[in-house]
Structure 1
Amino acid sequence: MVVVFCFNTCLMYFAPWPTEHKVIIVGLDNAGKTTILYQFLMKEVVHTSPTIGSNVEEIVVKNTHFLMWDIGGQESLRASWNTYYSNTEFIILVVDSTDRERLAISKEELYRMLAHEDLRKAAVLIFANKQDMKGCMSAAEISKYLTLSAIKDHPWHIQSCCALTGEGLGQGLEWMTSRAGLR
């Protein structure tokens, strides 16, 4: 809130600061996390390399401010994800819909995060990425494998998407924006 006082008159102006919602973008390496972040930001594909540490960007959707932390997903980095959890309101889990062999690891990481005290109030958006690829799993298949219906203490939504074209990303952001209004 901004309060302005003037001499000779007592003018008060109240302007609310926009609330910023912290988001962590997680998932296994090569799932498309960084591509999604920069698709949100610039609406175009940016050449990326494996993230070591994190990237952070502010995304504004319908006057809702999201501070998005894209965190590296290599196995050696996953143990440090919890250092980003404090004050997180949204988790975006990016799943490579073609990577059937590592879906069990994604599930394990998801439930480890949901059990963490700092994320007890976080809402979860799962992006089923790479839906443009032949032989990919559908969002429904991924939801069933991750047993999302068992998650009762966190609002969640799964969204099919393609990070390269941006298809489905807007719907995921709309879900987050609607949830941010409830906080």
Structure 2
Amino acid sequence: MGNIFGNLLKSLLGKKEMRILMVGLDAAGKTTILYKLKLGEIVTTIPTIGFNVETVEYKNISFTVWDVGGQDKIRPLWRHYFQNTQGLIFVVDSNDRERVNEAREELMRMLAEDELRDAVLLIFANKQDLPNAMNAAEITDKLGLHSLHMCHQCQYMTFHT
């Protein structure tokens, strides 16, 4: 009975569910961000081999966030998570100037995939608190975001962990 009532309330109040894929190079901070969103605090993490998945509730939206490992040997598996993805969070380590071109290549490779054509894109510039961190304008330039076709809705966020 309670389940039926809950489902009725969800449909009346317009509860929405969204599938979010969070990717980026290894050590960018994806798992830390996921658990900050889920738990509201920073937790100690280890490198993700495979994936983490958590549901994050915000207002009337239930986000299922898939945090997929970013090691170079795992990246070819990202495409197996593309189907039905409505939002793509690409996490960049703002302090990792040596690998920003590698991040750009991975981002552009993903955005060329037809399955992500309608996904909303969020670029999450992490580790902004570090002294050598690239600012938003520099990351926008280095990732080639100005050249994106308008078919991708792109948002930009900075964060420090």
TM-score normalised by length of structure 2: 0.90
Q: Which residue of 1 aligns with 2:77?
A: 80
Letter of the structure 1 residue corresponding to residue 38 of structure 2? L
Report sequence identity in percent: 47
Aligned residue pairs, count: 152
Q: Deviations over 1:20-44 (max 9, x none)?
A: 1100110000000000000001111
**Matching residue of 2:154:** 156
Contact 2:16 2:60 in 1 (8 A): no
Letter in 2 for 1:82: R
1:127-146 map, 5 Å: 127-146=124-143
Distance change in 2, residues 1:147/1:45 (3 Å) = same
RMSD over equivalenced CA pairs, Å: 1.4
SS of aligned partner of 1:135: coil
User: 1:115 maps to what in 2?
Assistant: 112
Which structure 2 segments of 5+ residues have no match? none
Change (3 A) 1:14 1:93: closer
Ranges in structure 1 where 5+ consecutive residues have no aligned partner: 5-12, 165-183
Distance 1:142 1:108 in 2: 13
Counterpart secondary structure, 1:67: strand
| 1:11-50 pair list within 5 angstroms | 16=11, 18-50=15-47
Aligned mates of 1:158, 1:14 — CA distance in 2: 33
1:56 aligns to 2:33 (yes or no): no
- What secondary structure is seen at the aligned counterpart in 2 of 1:131? coil
Partner-residue secondary structure (3-state), 1:76:
coil
Q: Distance in 1 between matches of 2:81 and 2:158?
A: 25
**CA deviations over 1:127-174 (Å, ceiling 9, x no partner):** 110000011100111001112122121000111111x2xxxxxxxxxx
The answer as to 2:100 corresponding to 1:103 is: yes
Q: Over alpha carbons, which structure has the higher Rg?
A: 1
Partner amino acid for 1:130?
K
For each residue in 1:1-56, what CA deviation from the matched residue of structure 2 results, as whole angstroms up to 9, or x when unmatched? xxx8xxxxxxxx67517321100110000000000000001111111000011000
Letter in 1 for 2:156: I
Distance 1:47 1:106 in 2: 24
2:89 counterpart of 1:92: yes
| 1:88 Cα deviation after fit | 0.2
State the partner residue of 1:169. Answer: none
CA 1:117–1:138 in structure 2 vs 1: closer, same or farther (change >3 Å)?
same
Instruction: Find the aligned partners of 2:16 and 2:158 in 1 and give their Cα distance.
Output: 28
